[in-house]
Amino acid sequence: MDRKTYTAELASLRELRTEITAAEKVVATAQKELDRLTGQRSRRVAGLAGYEGAQAAPIAKASGLTLADIVRIAPLLDPTPAAVREARPAASAVPVPVAEPAAQPVAVVAPAVTQQPAPAEFAPVPADQAVPVEQPVEQPAAPAAPIAAPATVAVVQPAAVVEGGPRVLPEIPQGPAGDRFAAVTSGLVSTRPNFTQQTRVTVFLDVAAGELVAREHTLRLNLGAKSPGEILDAVLAAAPGTERIYVTAGAPWHEGAERYSTLKDAVAAWLNTPSQRWTTATGAGKDKLAGHFVHQRQPVGRYAPAADPKSVVEVRSIGEWFDTGGADPATCRDAFRLLWQALRRYFDDAVLMGSPSQTGRDLWTRTIPTKGKWAGGYPVMSQELRGLLHATGGQGRTELLPPPRVPQQLPGLVEFDATFAYGKQTWKSGVGAPRRVTARAFAAMDQAAQAKALMACSHWHIRVTVPQGWDHVGLLPAPVPGDRAWEYPATGGATFTTWAGGAEVHLALTNHLMPWKVEVLDGLIWEDGKPIDDWGKKLKAAWADLTNLSKLHGDERQRTAAYLASRAVRSILLFGIGGFAQRPRTVTGTTPIGEALPAGVEILGQDENVVTWQRSTGFSRDPNAHPEWAARVWSGARTALLSMKMREDDVMVGALHLPAHSIVAFRTDAIYTTADVTWPYHGQPGEFLKKGHLPGPVAAPTTLEELLALRDLGRAHYAQGGNR
């Protein structure tokens, strides 16, 4: 080829490039339209599943999908007879083709690291609701010869429990099936809303005292036998237009609970007490508030007047937001008012919704960026990945360490509580589709890359061995029988397979006591982002404002109200993060006696009129489902509970910096220990506050009830100036 020909070919190549770019734009536009249409089809299929007589076959024919596709979108339409489904072998035992041999899991070596006036109504109608410390650096081991991949795939539903053995966690399969895990759901993104939430007229009711606070008025009511109908009649007569009733004291749903075998049965019976004037709300239009939510202590009753079934009045427990500590309804009203005022300083369109979770998620959606890479919204992970995170992303650490881990007689018991612990963990989260890192790929990384991978927003499938001679608490969670139950092995030589966040794995490898052996089996790494950072900062600012007000206000009632409001902000963040996890949704409902029950329901109870039931509807197409964010926050909080550096003070704090065998228990963000240490405290999120001290000798607790009793005694003693 001569120079002239070369130049001509370059020009031709540039022309071809232009044509390819134009064609790519056409394809992208077509793909976007295809995604929109397929998403619309899926929503319509899911909607059709709500009809009791719906069948998968005609829906499949009409939609152009296979029966398998229909059942995947709407599991309730599975036409397989129940007996056949029950007789099927477990999915984890079904052989599947092996796309490629898997590399031998590789032991990870410890990488080197460097260290306005308030409104009369408070809450809106939800738009949609259905019911390191440095270690010597070793050279990485050479990858072992590949071994055959196991010919099974663990299912990503609630993890299996082997008879007499531990719960078996899911894993990512090889080949195309595994590719679906490292993907996002087509056509499903979290977007900023273009509407303002509506408010709901809210009142506060002490059922025990019959005291109602509606706006600025305090009234005395006769609630009769305290059935739902009597409460609604009395409240609506005194405060017409009421749409939400917060019960601040009295728990009417526990009336006559001794007549029932379980507290849940008692609550269900109370919620469904017959009334001539009131019926269970069924919802209408965009307002899908419908049906009761049966919970032992914080139920939600949704009722509609028989003459106007589209109107909805909710009866809820204020315990969803905070423990009143005996505060009267007027103080609770003032707490909600202060809460709204504090949030409006940081969220222009803040409206308090029925629950902290709903409020937290609504406020978060209003922080979704309008500029930059994620201006179009944050993509939602694939259903497979959401299921995996649901089964493997544990929440707070709850563990009791009885004798012989601690002495039978404790020299004392000290409680350290991490202030607003989850608030410290919102600064970074993973965004976009994750990148899968196999054992072979991890082994091919150099030490710096391995450390970077672990410190990124990541989730790892690992095999762990506790080092011989280890004499402190466990560092990594291991599954045990029971839904989402975990333990923390600490016996030298113990080996287990689990999933854990990168922060926890990094701590196990780099802790100052003794590095653990960790073999990487698989992993997922997300791009580092800040999707909940702005939301978290604003909530922490509101919390700080209310906390300061609770200490400085001249009026005792307002100090109490401000304190309750600060606890409500904590609940908004705590339950807002839990809402990102999007557990499989459970719907409760009632059916008149004699009528056919919906398919797949679990009966909770019945009376002479109705059967109360619940059923799981699985993972919905929730545009705000982000379990990857919740898992990272929870993993970070569990890590900080063990070891955290207070940079301003240059001090390491956490359980690993207490003497071995001094740890009595962990409860989410609290450490109970016999060691009375002095850790710096500045009132910032994540810092450990000494909240209780009970002098010894104290019998070591062996049950949760005993621990909580000692906690209460320790808090009371400390509040009176003991052991300060």
Nearest Cα to 457, choosing from 392, 390, 498, 503? 503
Identify the helix (H) or strand (E) that includes residue 332. helix 329-344
Phi and psi of 452, rounded to 5°? -65, -40
Cis peptide before 329 (omega within 30 of 0): no
Cis peptide before 697 (omega within 30 of 0): yes
What letters, b where the CB count within 10 A reaches 16 and e where it falls short, cover 121-141?
bbbbbbbebebbeebeeeebe
> What whole-number distance in Å separates Cα of residue 477 and Cα of residue 170?
15
State CA 220 to chain mean position distance.
39
Nearest Cα to 581, choosing from 535, 542, 617, 634? 634
Residues of the chain with pLDDT under 70: 43, 46-47, 49-53, 67-68, 71-72, 74-166, 283-290, 482-484, 583-589, 605-608, 616-620, 724
Q: What is the pTM of this model?
A: 0.75
In the numeric block, which tokens belong to residue 177?
A: 């099936």
> What whole-number distance in Å separates Cα of residue 628 and Cα of residue 650?
31
In the numeric block, which tokens belong to residue 648?
A: 């301003």
Q: What is the dihedral of CA 348, 351, 352, 353, to 10 degrees?
A: -140
Q: Where are the domains of the chain?
A: 16-78, 195-320, 400-420+642-719
> What whole-number distance in Å separates Cα of residue 124 and Cα of residue 121?
8
| Residue spans of alpha helices (H) in 81-186 | 82-87, 176-179
Q: What is the pLDDT of residue 550?
A: 96
In the numeric block, which tokens belong to residue 273?
A: 């007490």
Q: What is the dihedral of CA 651, 655, 659, 664, to 10 degrees?
A: 150
pLDDT digits (tens, 9 = 90+) for 608-661: 677 777 776 665 678 999 999 999 999 999 999 999 999 999 999 999 999 999
In the numeric block, which tokens belong to residue 25?
A: 């734009």
What is the chain's Cα-based Rg? 28
> What whole-number distance in Å separates Cα of residue 532 and Cα of residue 551?
29
| Residue spans of alpha helices (H) in 90-180 | 176-179
- Residues 6 or more apart in contact with residue 496 via CB below 8 angstroms: 166, 463, 464, 478, 489
- CA distance readout (Å), 474 to 403, 466, 707: 16, 8, 20
Nearest Cα to 639, choosing from 470, 461, 465, 418? 418
Strand partners, 586: 616
> What whole-number distance in Å separates Cα of residue 664 and Cα of residue 700?
8
> Are the C-beta atoms of 497 and 489 separated by less than 8 Å?
no
Angle, CA 518 vertex, CA 517 and CA 521 arms, to 5°: 150
With tokens 């970074």, the residue in question is 428
> What whole-number distance in Å separates Cα of residue 384 and Cα of residue 438?
17
> What whole-number distance in Å separates Cα of residue 724 and Cα of residue 721?
6
- The dihedral built from the CA positions of residue 622, 624, 629 and 631, taken in this order, carries a sign that is negative
Nearest Cα to 426, choosing from 346, 350, 364, 502? 364
Q: What is the pLDDT of residue 283?
A: 62
> Are the C-beta atoms of 124 and 340 separated by less than 8 Å?
no
With tokens 């709407």, the residue in question is 74
Count of other CB atoms within 10 angstroms of residue 664: 26
Ramachandran sector of residue 330 (left: φ over 0; alpha: ψ -120 to 50; beta: rest): alpha
> Are the C-beta atoms of 25 and 53 separated by less than 8 Å?
no
